[in-house]
């Protein structure tokens, strides 16, 4: 798997929005302005979420893992957004059911199949209530970065 960029500039705390599209646009624009994705990524990730929901209910806080096709990505990156208030996202694999999401893991992958490996590792995080609680309450972006870097066990670039 190629190196994935992740550091404090991609950790967004207390994001506010009235809809999941506003949240996605805010996070995708952050990736775009930092040079990780093409301008087309912003609309592509919103459109993909409309057609293939990525919300996942967990025991504690629901999460979402929006992503889109590799042609919209320049450099692989993960952005983590902690929402100020929960926002409804459609549940993955269900057409009309939603879940109140508190944490968004936006993926920008630039090689085929790299998303699948990362998603498997993220699923372990989603099953750990203590980790999700930590992500929501921790104020230090450096601490969040270090925790996720260790939990994902990936060759993460940025802010070493």
Q: State the pLDDT confidence band at 56, using cuts at 50, 70 and 90.
A: very high
Place of tokens 């993220």: 122
pLDDT of residue 1: 44
pLDDT of residue 3: 82
pLDDT digits (tens, 9 = 90+) for 112-124: 777 777 888 899 9
Q: Is residue 160's pLDDT more than 60?
A: no
Rounded CA-CA distance 9/30 in Å is 9
Superfamily of structural domain 4-157: Mannitol-specific EII; Chain A (3.40.930.10)
The stretch 79-99 carries a mean pLDDT of 95
Mean pLDDT of the chain: 92
Distances (CA, A) of 61 to 19, 132, 136, 139, 151: 17, 7, 9, 17, 18
- Half-sphere exposure (CA, 13 Å, Cβ side) for 39? 0
Give me the numbers of helices (H) and strands (E) for the chain, helices first please: 5, 7
The stretch 13-27 carries a mean pLDDT of 97
Q: Where do the structural domains in the chain lie, given as residue ranges?
A: 4-157
pLDDT of residue 36: 97
**Residue 136: phi, psi to the nearest 5?**
-75, -40
Q: Does residue 74 sit in helix, strand or coil?
A: coil
pLDDT of residue 120: 86
Place of tokens 């208030």: 85
CA angle 7, 9, 12 (to 5 degrees): 105
């Amino acid at each position: 798997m190629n190196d994935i960029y992740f550091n404090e500039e991609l950790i967004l705390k207390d994001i506010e929005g009235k809809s999941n599209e506003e949240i996605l646009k805010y996070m995708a624009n952050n990736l775009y302005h930092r040079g990780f994705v093409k301008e087309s990524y912003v609309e592509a990730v919103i459109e993909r979420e409309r057609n293939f929901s990525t919300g996942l209910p967990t025991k504690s806080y629901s999460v979402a893992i929006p992503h889109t096709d590799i042609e919209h990505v320049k450099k692989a990156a993960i952005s983590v957004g902690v929402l100020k208030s929960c926002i409804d996202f459609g549940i993955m694999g269900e057409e009309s059911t939603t879940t109140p999401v508190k944490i968004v893991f936006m993926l920008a992958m630039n090689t085929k199949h790299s998303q699948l490996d990362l998603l498997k590792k993220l699923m372990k995080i989603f099953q750990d209530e203590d980790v999700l609680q930590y992500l929501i309450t921790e104020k230090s972006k450096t601490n969040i970065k270090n925790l996720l870097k260790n939990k994902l066990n990936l060759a993460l670039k940025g802010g070493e």
